[in-house]
Amino acid sequence: MLKTFQTLSQKPEFPVIVLVIASFFWGLSWLPLKSLNQMGFDGPLLIFAAYSLLSLVFLPLLIKQRSYLKSHLAAWLIILVLGGGANFAFSYALIYGEIIRVMVLFYLLPLWGVLGGKFLLNEHVDYKGWMAAGLSICGAFLIVGGFKVFESPPTWIDGIALLSGFLFAMNNIAFRAHQDIPMVPKLSALFIGTALLSGLLFFVQGAEMPNDISLPAWQLLVFYGLVWLLISNYGSQWGVTHLPASRSSIIIIMELVVAVISAVLIANETLSFVEGLGGVLIVTAAVLEAFRKTNKDK
Domain containing 121 equals 42-297
Give a yes or no: residue 49 inside a domain: yes
Give a yes or no: residue 107 inside a domain: yes
Label residue 282 exposed, middle or buried (CB < 10 Å: 0-12, 13-18, 19+): buried
Q: Give residue 71's pLDDT band: very low, low, confident or very high (50, 70, 90).
A: confident
Q: What percent of the chain has pLDDT over 70?
A: 79
- pLDDT tens column, 95-116: 999 888 888 788 776 666 666 6
Residue 232's closest CA among 265, 259, 263, 255? 255
What integer pLDDT is reported at residue 120 of this predicted model?
Answer: 63
The type of residue at 195 is A
Give a yes or no: residue 9 inside a domain: no
Q: Give me the number of domains the chain comprises.
A: 1
Average pLDDT over residues 50-66: 92
Give a yes or no: residue 209 inside a domain: yes
Would you list the DSSP string of 84-138? HHHHHHHHHHHHHS-HHHHHHHHT-HHHHHHHHHHHTS-----HHHHHHHHHHHH
* pTM across the whole model: 0.84
156 in helix, strand or coil?
A: helix
Give a yes or no: residue 113 inside a domain: yes
CA angle, 50 then 54 then 57, to 5°:
145
Average pLDDT, the chain: 81
Give a yes or no: residue 128 inside a domain: yes
- pLDDT tens column, 216-230: 999 999 999 999 999
- pLDDT tens column, 229-282: 999 999 988 887 777 665 676 777 788 888 888 888 898 888 777 777 877 887
Q: How far apart are the first and last CA of the chain?
A: 37
